Structure 1
């Protein structure tokens, strides 16, 4: 297997064709790892379209060190994908540059399943302070409120929760045929998450309490493009 840590800039519309030519020339499977700061796939509008092209036009490609894109990649034909359980495993950093951070993490990142996004445990506790938080019934939690991970003392249980939720998604996806069936599951789940944000914000009475992550919105726009749907069906 050829491991390919590449700068996310190669997914731009004017460069991705050259990337596809170079990667296609190499024999065997390829494992792509995107380089950039914070969320590379949210750094410019056509990054996801470029990734979709690579997965469609270079059979046998995997996506490693990813976040939500791991599931989008599997839906679009990736042979496998990896979702990093911590920020440093969700992308690669350009050589010689320090890893940027969105801020000091004084509580663990917790996966909010209905919103398909990670939020700090302390932020969840603040947002749901005046109302009941959603209950998680994953294999790790049993039955536990999502606002019950307020400090780094809860890091291990938060990681177990995240892994259990991700594995449940993965197990569901594995039951579906590669191609349109997986693509439809991904589109419906992603759209349900986007539609859920205003409902959760209304429940906590905070209009901007939870904002849709840029990458999730861009998956939404990509899935809405006729050409993207046609490419996914071709798999």
Structure 2
């Protein structure tokens, strides 16, 4: 396995074509890990398009150290993908640069399935303080409210919840035929999540309570058709 940490800038403009040439010429299976600060795929609008081109034109490529992109990559034909357990495992950082963060977290990251995003447990507790939080029915929670992970003491059940939800998505995706069915399922799931944000914010009476993350929005808008080389028509 050729593991390649690459700067996300290689997915921009003409650079992605050169990356595809180099990957295509390398023997054996390849796995790429995108480099950048925070969410590399949110760095510029065409990043997801570039990633989709790489996966379509270099069969057998995998994506490691990813977040939502792990599922988007699988839907686009990746050989396999890895969803990082923590923020520092969801991308790589350029050599010599300290990783940017929002500081020490006093509560675990909790996956909000309907919004397809991770939020700190204390943030969920604060947002739902005046109303009932959604109840999670994943295999790990057993109808546990999403606002019940307010401190790092809840780290283990939060991780179990996240894993159970992600595995349910993975099973659904792999039960679909590779190709158009998987691409459409992922796009529709992302669109549904984006549409849920204003509804959830209205329910908690906080217009800006939860904000759509840029990468999720871009997955919802990315054409579900297969990616073709620049200047060529899609199938």
Identify the TM-score tier after normalising by the shorter chain.
over 0.9
Which stretch has the larger CA shift, 94-103 or 107-116? 94-103
- Distance across 2 between alignment mates of 1:220 and 1:195: 10
Q: What TM-score, normalized by structure 1, do the two folds share?
A: 0.95
Aligned to 1:96: 96
> Displacement, 1:114?
0.3
Give me the whole-angstrom Cα distance separating, in 2, the residues matched to 1:103 and 1:184.
37
| 1:185-204 equivalent positions in 2, closer than 5 A | 185-204=185-204
Structure with the larger helix share: 1
Which piece of structure 1 moves more, 44-53 or 101-110?
101-110
1:116 is aligned to 2:116 = yes
Q: Secondary structure at the match of 1:55?
A: helix
Counterpart of 1:213 in structure 2 is 213
Q: CA deviation at 1:143?
A: 1.1
8 Å CA contact 2:8–2:41 kept in 1: the answer is yes
Q: Find the counterpart in structure 2 of residue 66 from structure 1.
A: 66
Alignment check: 8 A CA contact 2:188 2:220 kept? no
How large is the RMSD of aligned CA atoms in angstroms? 1.3
Corresponding residue SS for 1:91? coil
Q: Distance in 1 between matches of 2:200 and 2:85?
A: 24
Contact (CA 8 Å) 2:190, 2:217: kept in 1 or not?
A: no
1:28 matched residue in structure 2: 28
Kindly indicate whether the alpha-carbon contact (under 8 Å) linking 2:187 and 2:222 is maintained by their aligned counterparts in 1: no
What is the CA-CA distance between 1:28 and the residue it aligns to?
A: 1.1
> 1:115-134 to 2 correspondence within 5 Å?
115-134=115-134
Match of residue 231 from structure 2: none
Match for residue 231 of structure 1 among 205, 227, 234? 227
Match of 1:8 in 2: 8
TM-score, normalised with respect to structure 2: 0.95
Q: Unpaired runs of 5+ in structure 1?
A: none
Report deviation, 1:103. 3.4
Distance in 2 (alpha carbons) for counterparts of 1:107 and 1:59 = 40
The number of aligned residues is 230
Residue of structure 2 in register with 1:156 after alignment: 156
**CA deviation vs aligned residue, 1:74-100 (integer Å, no higher than 9, x gap):** 001101101011001100111111111
Unpaired runs of 5+ in structure 2? 229-233
Q: Is the contact between residue 38 and residue 102 of structure 1 (CA under 8 Å) also seen in structure 2?
A: no
Whether 1:173 aligns to 2:169 is no
1:75-90 equivalence runs, <5 A: 75-90=75-90
- Rounded to whole Å, the distance in 1 between the matches of 2:132 and 2:202 is 13
SS in 2 for 1:22: helix
Q: Structure 1 residue 13: deviation in Å?
A: 1.3
| Whole-angstrom distance in 2 between the partners of 1:217 and 1:165 | 20
Offset at 1:230? 4.1
Post-superposition offset of 1:174: 1.0
Secondary structure at the counterpart of residue 65 of structure 1: strand
